[in-house]
Chains A and B, each alone.
Chain A
Amino acid sequence: MISWRLSRRDFLRAGTASAALASSGVGLAILLPELGQASILEQQNHAGHGNGDDTQPPATSHEAGGQHDGHSVSMAVGEVGPNAIGIDPMAFLTTFDYGTVSTLANGQVLREYEIVAYDREIEIAPGVFFPAWTYNGQVPGPTIRANEGDRLRIKFINAGTHPHTIHFHGIHSAFMDGTSGIGRGNIEVGEEFTYEFDAFPFGCHLYHCHSFPLKRHIHKGLYGTFIINPDPNKQGEQARERHPDHEESQRWQEFVMVMNAFDTTFDGENEVYAINSVAFHYMKHPIRVERDRPVRVYLVNVTEFDPINSFHLHANFFDYYDHGTTLDPTLKTVDTIMQIQGQRGILEISFKGFEPGLYMFHAHQSEFPELGWMSAFDVVE
Chain B
Amino acid sequence: MSEVTATNQITTPVASADAEPTRWTARWVILGLLPLILLAGVLALIVATDAGLGERTVPPIEELNVQRVTLPEPGRIVLDVVNDGPDPITIAQVMVDDAYWSYGIDGDGTLGRMDSATITLPYPWVEGEAHAIGIVSATGVVFDADVPVALESPETDSGTFARFALIGFYVGVIPVALGLLWYPFLRRLGGGAMQFILALTIGLLVFLAVDMFGEAQEIALGVPAVFEGSLLVPVIALLTFLLLMTIASRKGDTPRRGLAVAYRIALGIGLHNLGEGLAIGAAFALGEIGLGVFLIVGFTLHNVTEGVGIAAPILREQPRFINFVWLALLAGGPAILGVWIGGFVYSPLWATIFLAIGIGAIVQVVVEVTRIIAQSSEREGSPWLNWTTLGGVTAGIAVMYATALVVAG
The residues of A with any CB-CB pair to B shorter than 8 Å are 1-12, 14-31, 33, 35-40, 42-44, 72-78, 124-131, 262, 264-265, 271-272, 279-280, 367, 370-372
Contact = CB atoms under 8 A, between A and B. Distances in A.
A21 B81 CA distance: 10
Contacts of A371: 95, 98-100
B141 interface: yes
Most buried by B among A1, A5, A370: A1
Contacts of A25: 67-68, 282, 285, 342, 346-348
A32 to B, nearest CB: 10
Given A17-B143, A21-B146, A28-B156, A33 B100 contact: no
A74 B282 contact: no
Nearest to B122: A73
B408 to A, nearest CB: 4
B407 to A, nearest CB: 5
A308 B343 CA distance: 46
B235 to A, nearest CB: 20
B377 interface: no
B261 interface: no
Which interface residue of A15, A20, A22, A27 has the most chain B CB atoms within 10 A? A27
Nearest to B75: A73
Contact of B66 (A19, A43, A280): A19
A2 B215 CA distance: 9
B186 interface: no
A2 B101 contact: no
A29 B342 contact: no
Contacts of A2: 404, 407-409
Contacts of B64: 17, 19
B276 A3 contact: yes
8 contacts: A6-B291, A12-B143, A20-B222, A26-B286, A74-B99, A76-B100, A129-B140, A264-B142
B100 A75 contact: yes
B49 interface: no
B105 A23 contact: no
A24 B404 contact: no
B218 to A, nearest CB: 6
* Of listed B100, B143, B218, B342, residue having the most chain A CB within 10 A: B100
B10 to A, nearest CB: 54
A121 to B, nearest CB: 9
Contact of A22 (B136, B211, B222, B343): B222
A74 B103 CA distance: 10
B394 interface: no
B297 interface: no
A3 B148 contact: no
B106 interface: yes
Interface residues of B: mostly helix, strand, loop or mixed?
mixed
B146 A8 contact: yes
B285 A27 contact: yes
Contacts of A372: 100
Nearest to B151: A26
A40 B102 contact: yes
B102 A30 contact: no
Contact of A271 (B59, B76, B136, B279): B136
B307 interface: no
A23 B102 contact: no
Contacts of A11: 221
B62 A17 contact: yes
Contacts of B358: none
Contacts of B148: 6-8, 23
Contacts of A22: 65-68, 222, 346, 348
A119 B223 CA distance: 38
Nearest to A75: B100
B153 A29 contact: yes
B95 A265 contact: no
Contact of B118 (A1, A31, A130): A31
A23 B69 contact: yes
A4 B66 contact: no
B346 A3 contact: no
Contact of B141 (A14, A40, A127): A14
A370 B99 contact: yes
Contacts of A26: 68-71, 153, 282, 285-286, 346
Interface stretch (B27-35, B85-93, B321-329, B383-391): B85-93
A305 B170 CA distance: 55
A30 B90 CA distance: 21
A11 B223 CA distance: 11
Contact of B286 (A24, A28, A43, A367): A24
Contacts of A23: 66, 68-69, 145-148
Nearest to A22: B222
Contacts of A38: 104
B228 to A, nearest CB: 13
Nearest to B343: A27
Interface string B91-128: 01111001111111110010000000010101100000
Interface string B131-169: 000111111111111111000011110000000000000
A25 B342 CA distance: 6
Nearest to B97: A370
Given A6-B283, A19-B145, A22-B67, A129 B215 contact: no
A128 B140 contact: yes
A348 B187 CA distance: 96
Nearest to B72: A29
B142 A271 contact: yes
A213 to B, nearest CB: 19
A21 B144 contact: yes
A72 B102 contact: yes
| A-B residue pairs, 6 tightest by C-beta | A264-B140, A25-B346, A3-B279, A127-B92, A36-B120, A370-B99
A21 B82 CA distance: 11
Given A14-B143, A17-B141, A9 B221 contact: yes
Given A15-B141, A73-B101, A128 B93 contact: yes
Nearest to A72: B102
B124 to A, nearest CB: 9
Contacts of A367: 98-99
Given A3-B276, A24-B286, A26-B286, 6 more contacts: A7-B286, A40-B122, A264-B142, A271-B95, A271-B140, A370-B98
Nearest to A8: B148
B102 A127 contact: no
Contacts of B145: 19, 21, 23
Given A22-B66, A40-B122, A73-B122, A1 B100 contact: no
